[in-house]
Structure 1
Amino acid sequence: MNLSDYVKRRNGVPLGHSDSLRNMFIRSLGAGTFSKFWQHWNPIWSYYLGKNIFKPLKLIFPQALSLLITFVACGFIHDLVIMLLKWKITLLLTPWFFLMGICVILGDYAKIDYSKFPWIVRAILNTTIISSCLLIAYQVRI
């Protein structure tokens, strides 16, 4: 699947469409599982993470470990940009993404599904998971 097809599948509109950002927020925040949140969040970035990190890792490691390593790599790439801009070693996003990856894996394992709740409740739950992981990561940051 190419990038254009992937974005249309995730956002419901073609790449570059004026409703793309709105759809991403509505679909991701209103997702009924935390793993589905990530299926809709930033589809361009996730396309390349999936293609260049997750899929090659799945050839070597189990899917859950591959997913966790992909989350950590994503967080580290974000941290790396900050470190290059600040010229200072700092790791906040790497542990944050590690924790969110753990939440995806545990949520899938436990089959946690809140899709029957109204959109606003799903959005609050997804935002709470993200915020909680950030608060914990902030406590252990380097």
Structure 2
Amino acid sequence: MVSLNNYVKKRNGVPLGHPKSLGNMFKRSLGANSFDLFWVHWNPIWNYYLNKYIYKPLKRVCHSYVALVLTFGFSGFVHDLAGLLIYTELSFLFTIWFIIMGVLAAVFKRNKIYYKTQKKEVNYGFNVILIVSSFLLAKCILNGIYFFNT
């Protein structure tokens, strides 16, 4: 298994703790020419541990695309638990949102969908639109769940 330091350097182009690390992460992730590739560069430290302890073990027992979606769901749930500490209420917004993004990432990866542009700024727009759209869909789903439970 590759070390965390090497993993971060591969994803960000600079070593762990380097002053340009955060900027490189944003540029590489937002500038990625596919939604699944966005996640290759986003938050490499968190990505390293999710890959090592969640995705790879899941991949041994289910299809890699299912493992990918479940890993996104796990990450969302951890984010929801952090929200629980702040808001003292578990909403599952992040879990739903991350599952939607996981499905999108799996679809992009499975079908080898790439943006047909060479301009990173256009890729920024595509990736942000997918993230915001999936968030809005998650909010609609959550509102629908709350609506039907009242």
For the aligned pair, the TM-score class normalised by the smaller chain equals over 0.9
Distance 1:51 1:78 in 2: 18
User: Could you tell me which residue of structure 2 aligns to residue 13 of structure 1?
Assistant: 14
- Give the TM-score of the pair, scaled to structure 2: 0.91
Aligned-partner residue type, residue 105 of structure 1: A
Q: Map 1:102-117 to 2 at 5 A.
A: 102-114=103-115, 116-117=117-118
Paired-residue identity, %: 45
Q: How many residues align?
A: 142
Distance 1:32 1:115 in 2: 8
Output one character per residue of 1:115-134: Cα deviation in whole Å (capped at 9) or x when no partner: 53311110100000000000
SS in 2 for 1:72: helix
* 1:24 aligns to 2:28 (yes or no): no
User: Could you tell me which residue of structure 2 aligns to residue 135 of structure 1?
Assistant: 136
Distance 2:11 2:67 in 1: 21
User: Could you tell me which residue of structure 1 aligns to residue 56 of structure 2?
Assistant: 55
Distance 1:67 1:106 in 2: 11
Q: Quick check: 1:115–1:122 contact (8 Å CA) kept in 2?
A: no
Shift of 1:26: 0.2
Distance 1:85 1:113 in 2: 38
Shift of 1:88: 1.2
Distance 1:49 1:30 in 2: 22
User: Could you tell me which residue of structure 1 aligns to residue 3 of structure 2?
Assistant: 2
SS in 1 for 2:70: helix
SS in 2 for 1:15: coil
SS in 2 for 1:27: helix
Aligned-partner residue type, residue 14 of structure 2: V
Question: Structure 1 regions of 5+ residues with no counterpart?
Answer: none
User: Could you tell me which residue of structure 1 aligns to residue 126 of structure 2?
Assistant: 125
Distance 1:123 1:39 in 2: 15
CA 1:14–1:23 in structure 2 vs 1: closer, same or farther (change >3 Å)?
same
Distance 2:61 2:25 in 1: 31
Question: Structure 2 regions of 5+ residues with no counterpart?
Answer: none
Larger Cα-atom Rg: 2
Aligned-partner residue type, residue 61 of structure 1: C
Output one character per residue of 1:57-90: Cα deviation in whole Å (capped at 9) or x when no partner: 0111110000010000000000011112222121
Distance 2:86 2:117 in 1: 43
Q: Quick check: 1:99–1:133 contact (8 Å CA) kept in 2?
A: yes
Distance 1:59 1:115 in 2: 34
Aligned-residue Cα RMSD (Å) equals: 1.1
